[in-house]
Chains A and B, each alone.
Chain A
Amino acid sequence: MTRTILIDPVTRIEGHAKISIHLDASGAVSTAHFHVGEFRGFEAFCVGRPFSEMAAITARICGICPVSHLLAAAKTGDQLLAVSIPPAAERLRRLMNLAQIIQSHALSFFHLSSPDFLLGWDSDPAQRNVFGLIAADPELARGGIRLRQFGQAVIERLGGRKIHPAWAVPGGVRSSMQPDDRDWIRSRLSEAVATTQGALELFKRLLDGPLAAEAGDFGDFPSLFLALVGPDDRWEHYGGQLRLIDSTGAPVGRDLPSDGLSPEQLDNLLAEAVEPWTYLKFPYHKPLGPEAGSYRVGPLARLNVCERIGHERADRELLELRQRGGRVVTSSFHYHLARLIEILAALEAIEALLDDPALSDTHVRAHAGVNAREAVGVSEAPRGTLFHHYRVDSGGLIEAVNLIIATGQNNRAMNRTITQIARQHIQAGPAEAGPGDQLPEIAEGLLNRVEAGIRCFDPCLSCSTHAAGQMPLHVQLIGPEGEVLRERWRD
């Protein structure tokens, strides 16, 4: 006999989703599911389009991480052309990706998750949002906005349009960087670094105090981690090698090249499981199967996979992270700390790039015809490793597309995380309890912890339409026969 608690939809993540918590006959949580009910369908939409348009098309899939799709599409196009892009183009693409990481992580940390951290899990939900944050810590809120503005402005200065810059193209980029743009970026770096370091200090104090428990039970479990890694095992976000490790840090299989990853290699590396209760697939490491082969991607994975970041201030923070969580950090709550460290790493990496004379070269694009009929492009989106896989005809028209997105790759981990949190925090009553008598109340703080477990991964499902608007939080307790035992709306 089971009962189900539904939380529908999850707030402050992209798209519409819900959480169901399944109770066993004893009233204990047996499992929890993160449901995604929005069918993407973008792959089929792309068939028949010229591959050269894929960067512009796929960048429009998402208003949050357009640069990620832009770069993955351009890199796939590089492979179809079979060209090496000019050094300046690679540096410019890297610069844009770093800016994307900054703006995306800033939104996640400062505006979506900080209200939970600073205002408390059990605080009034009417105040536990960015406006409550402004009231509690206006400087932090303004700093977060400025940091996000900085990332967006760098993207705009490079790409010309703020949200969907169709600037990276197969073979390189459309335009080089102007000297005044370089000067502007440089002039803003110190403020951005100071904001990030201030947030890091604040968050670490919270981790040592009121958030200590959450750091331990928010999705702390062994899993594989997948990410790009650079030369000398440095932190990487654009090229390098694709590496999978287990939770002891041991490599799983051999590193694979991110540039020139063959379709066969991708097919041997990953497979995708499906579940009847969600449209979001569950990618896994094929040789180990759906359970043992489940893996996490994103900021925590990138920091776990690398040995060092390669920039002084971020490396100090990485060392501290490992002192907290071990060489391979398995608590999903530390995705938040990893995001802040990555913002710092990205700012230092931008500083280093601006000093690189090759950044100013005006030769930024290689030209060629279709020289390969199938290719895979890989880059690191803010939320994790992103794969684009295209097959084209001789004229370069798309015959098949597969996009493996970060949120999907973290799907199994998100489900494990909310299950763990639910088991820790939701004390359900006996399964045979009827309506109105001994059924457990579902406290606001408990609901928010489950939602916050999802937010650790900052999932993005923004391919959904927004026209229907935001829906209030809907919670249902459903009995074994499907009857609604309790129902609660939060609005």
Chain B
Amino acid sequence: MSPGARQQRADLLIGWGNGLRQDDGVGLAIAERVEGWSRPGLTVLAITQLTPELAAMVAEAKRVLFVDAALAPACPDPGWRLEQLDTPADGAKAAGAERLSHHASPGALLQLAGSLYGRTPPAWQLLLRAHSCEMGTGLSAATAALLPEALAAVGRWCGDA
């Protein structure tokens, strides 16, 4: 890729989850709201699962933010956290913990990007606590209440570019 093209890399936000299982879809809810910002230099994906072919898009991104639901132990008070992900080590041995299923984890995608396309962008994850994952299309009130602060954090992340 030419230096000019490299300068045009966009940030990538991937919100993922099952929108028919209440709070499991909070990543989608964040992505849909951020897409509404129509922010230049930011590409937004709202998807059900992370799948291997996304590695190509990840490799091309300037920075990546994965947005997902998490159960309480992974998401203590205040119920959401935004953190930078470690750059995964190269090589199959180090990748052993990543068991790719039909869906992949953010770490697996970053590893795939590095292994297949030679570039691993800096990445973050935003986790929001899922309070209920029963059948249903809406977020629980408790998880919905996390959205304003989490969206503000996304806004700051965008501004840090």
Taking Cβ atoms with an 8 Å cutoff, the residues of A that contact B are 11-14, 41-42, 44-45, 57, 60-64, 66, 107, 111-112, 124-127, 129-132, 134-135, 138, 141-142, 145, 148-149, 152, 162-164, 460, 462-463, 465-470, 491
Contact = CB atoms under 8 A, between A and B. Distances in A.
B71 A467 contact: yes
Given A112-B100, A149-B56, A131 B133 contact: no
The 10 A-B pairs of least Cβ separation, nearest first, read A126-B96, A63-B48, A131-B95, A63-B49, A132-B92, A131-B92, A465-B133, A465-B24, A467-B69, A127-B92
Contact of B116 (A125, A142, A460): A142
Contacts, number: 133
Q: Is the interface of A mostly helix, strand, loop or mixed?
A: loop
B51 A107 contact: yes
A42 B135 contact: yes
15 contacts: A13-B101, A45-B135, A45-B136, A60-B18, A62-B48, A63-B103, A107-B52, A127-B93, A127-B96, A129-B92, A134-B92, A163-B47, A467-B17, A467-B130, A469-B105
Interface residues of B, number: 42
Contacts of A470: 99, 101, 105
A149 B20 contact: no
A130 B102 CA distance: 12
Interface of B: 17-21, 23-24, 45, 47-49, 51-53, 55-56, 68-71, 74, 91-93, 95-103, 105, 111-112, 115-116, 130, 133, 135-136
Q: Is the interface of B mostly helix, strand, loop or mixed?
A: loop
Nearest to B57: A149
Contacts of A462: 48-49, 102-103
Q: Which of B51, B55, B74, B103: most chain A CB closer than 10 A?
A: B51
A60 B24 CA distance: 13
Nearest to A111: B52
B158 to A, nearest CB: 23
Contact of A129 (B70, B71, B100, B133): B100
Nearest to A41: B135
Contacts of A164: 48
A152 B21 contact: no
